[in-house]
Structure 1
């Protein structure tokens, strides 16, 4: 079996998950990776055969999206050309982890695909949503990267096609401890904003993972570390608690380890607000942004007991097997079904 696995490189979670899935996928045949996106800071140890800048999210310095940069990076004709060139028709199975180019390519060439990952879970109306409705956010989650069928991942099995998170083996088999520090990863804030806020809490040590630094730097109660999969994982395993965004992979790992967890959703990103709604059910503290009273909020959070621990109902092997079997069950698209053309693509925007 030849498998094309499209991986969205907006953020580090998709890449981290792909690296964990690869040994299991390879049991079923040859796997090629299409890496789409340009703002991940994690080294992708993957068999990348195709690459694209894709459509990426970019962040400002104070917790929100950089809409101007996102608009400048949006080249629709390039996306259409790349979708035409991507040889999805040469594969027995296409697995798509929220990539719009692969989705478009499958539509153009009438190829069935399996939508896989966290965003796939939002195809279900039962998946938790933010109290404040966001029509544009719903459209993106449901139509940005459509597939023929879906395997969703989430903190709980909200629907029959939704499975637990894929937890990397270093976390699965870890022996957690509390060495007193708090692990921090807030990619949507600048280092300066995070440091200025946390260095005021002098009786707590923080290990902050940075997109900018190349080596470990320490001053006062702050240790600044370069982003690395191993470094961050070890820091979290032996942390007292974790401060991060309201993404999926890192909160899931922190919950699995039984760590105290504080999340700051990226402002303007509907998916993270929905994740925050789900995380509240686990007793996770949610703060909208770093503001003048952030120090007091952190102190209050530290008085709260650890969040509800995440349990796994399925192994990574089980989840991959479900994706493979679902892909094998898909029937070919009928020739009389209409194709998507360039005008249709432009109309989406």
Structure 2
């Protein structure tokens, strides 16, 4: 078996999922080539597990101060380059294509009549899941951006459909959790605005990860360059996470039982819908803007709820190897039966909501 795996690299969550699957592919002895698109090659880090990976321009989204900039997004993308890359990508040596919302591999598979399997959070939106900010444009993007023949959608709940739990790879340490330590990853927001948001809360330590050239300390606020290993340690030892409403980091925080405060990217249906789903499942608190009052309320009153997910990456790799690649419902049912929901009294509402949804 030989697979081409396309990964949309505009967000680190897609790459994190790909790392988890790559590890399981390696253990299973499956030959996989990796194609990433959506950001310049020099902006990737910790990519050794993907071997001799390919990088294409693809399509990307431009954001400014917590909002999607449609005009700049249109001008920054070259459809001519995209169409040429789709046309020139040869899939003849592959048994099928796996895509995590990556358009070049998905459209090349469609044009060459090669089976394409979509794995990722976006493919959950082909079902009836909580939505916010939904419109004709967002629906068209979801449908046509990276089309697939088979969908392995991921979400925090199945909502009555053949949706899989998150691929939430966590790396717990034996170090104690600091009740006053908060990890902050607000990559879509202005750096200055984030610091201003956190400045009043001097009794907490905020560790902010971003594209910084070096470590900086500003009293109770620390700025750290992007580092996968460093981030994992800080995430494990923190009591909470403040982040945009992407899927992967929120999933890791929930799996670790961290309290979670999310601020969705405006103009982006997926993040707006994620915020709504997290609220409905009572797994996070949300804020529509960088709101000091919301942060104070979250710091003093919100409790994290831990949901333990099974090894979804291994289950997917086994399914790709041994199934007929048609019945996704059995895979979904098997995985959700292994999910460990919160058992404490404060989580009972969440549990009953999940079971009734």
TM-score w.r.t. the length of structure 2 is 0.84
Relative to structure 1, is the Cα distance of residues 175 and 218 closer, same or farther in structure 2, using a 3 angstrom cutoff?
closer
Aligned-pair CA distance for 1:190: 2.1
The residue number in structure 1 matching 2:343 is: none
Relative to structure 1, is the Cα distance of residues 235 and 275 closer, same or farther in structure 2, using a 3 angstrom cutoff?
same
Determine helix, strand or coil for the equivalent of 1:90.
coil
2:4–2:32: 8 Å Cα contact kept in structure 1? yes
Determine helix, strand or coil for the equivalent of 1:202.
coil
The residue number in structure 1 matching 2:60 is: 56
2:309 is the counterpart of 1:312:
yes
2:126 is the counterpart of 1:129:
no
The residue number in structure 1 matching 2:351 is: none
Determine helix, strand or coil for the equivalent of 1:306.
coil
Relative to structure 1, is the Cα distance of residues 17 and 48 closer, same or farther in structure 2, using a 3 angstrom cutoff?
farther
Aligned-pair CA distance for 1:315: 3.8
1:164–1:314: 8 Å Cα contact kept in structure 2? no
Q: Distance in 1 between matches of 2:194 and 2:200?
A: 11
Which structure has more RCO (C-alpha within 8 Å, separation ≥ 6)?
Answer: 1
Aligned-pair CA distance for 1:123: 1.3
Determine helix, strand or coil for the equivalent of 1:163.
coil
The residue number in structure 2 matching 1:301 is: 298
2:23 is the counterpart of 1:23:
yes
2:180–2:203: 8 Å Cα contact kept in structure 1? no
2:7–2:101: 8 Å Cα contact kept in structure 1? yes
Aligned-pair CA distance for 1:148: 0.9
Matches within 5 A, 1:183-194: 183-194=183-194
2:111 is the counterpart of 1:108:
yes
Relative to structure 1, is the Cα distance of residues 240 and 23 closer, same or farther in structure 2, using a 3 angstrom cutoff?
closer
The residue number in structure 1 matching 2:206 is: 206
Q: Distance in 2 between matches of 1:300 and 1:322?
A: 43
Matches within 5 A, 1:63-142: 63-125=66-128, 127-130=129-132, 132-142=133-143
CA deviation vs aligned residue, 1:149-194 (integer Å, no higher than 9, x gap): 11111111235431111122525x7776235211000000121111
Matches within 5 A, 1:254-273: 254-273=253-272
Aligned-pair CA distance for 1:133: 3.4
CA deviation vs aligned residue, 1:13-46 (integer Å, no higher than 9, x gap): 1111111111212315211001111166544332
Q: Distance in 2 between matches of 1:284 and 1:203?
A: 22
2:170–2:255: 8 Å Cα contact kept in structure 1? no
Q: Distance in 2 between matches of 1:326 and 1:120?
A: 20
2:219 is the counterpart of 1:215:
no
Matches within 5 A, 1:330-349: none
Aligned-pair CA distance for 1:261: 0.6
Q: Distance in 1 between matches of 2:51 and 2:12?
A: 17
2:319 is the counterpart of 1:322:
yes
1:7–1:14: 8 Å Cα contact kept in structure 2? yes
Relative to structure 1, is the Cα distance of residues 142 and 326 closer, same or farther in structure 2, using a 3 angstrom cutoff?
farther
- Count, aligned residues: 322
Regions of 4+ moved over 6 Å: 173-176
Root mean square deviation of aligned Cα: 2.1
Q: Distance in 2 between matches of 1:256 and 1:20?
A: 15
Q: Distance in 2 between matches of 1:50 and 1:305?
A: 43
Determine helix, strand or coil for the equivalent of 2:167.
coil
Aligned-pair CA distance for 1:89: 2.7
TM-score w.r.t. the length of structure 1 is 0.86
CA deviation vs aligned residue, 1:25-75 (integer Å, no higher than 9, x gap): 231521100111116654433224422011012221x21123333122221
The residue number in structure 2 matching 1:347 is: none
1:83–1:101: 8 Å Cα contact kept in structure 2? yes
The residue number in structure 2 matching 1:35 is: 36
Determine helix, strand or coil for the equivalent of 2:171.
helix
Determine helix, strand or coil for the equivalent of 1:303.
helix
Determine helix, strand or coil for the equivalent of 2:157.
coil
Q: Distance in 2 between matches of 1:323 and 1:275?
A: 27
Which sections of structure 1, spanning at least 5 residues, go unmatched?
331-349
Aligned-pair CA distance for 1:324: 4.0
CA deviation vs aligned residue, 1:299-349 (integer Å, no higher than 9, x gap): 11112232332232554311322244457569xxxxxxxxxxxxxxxxxxx
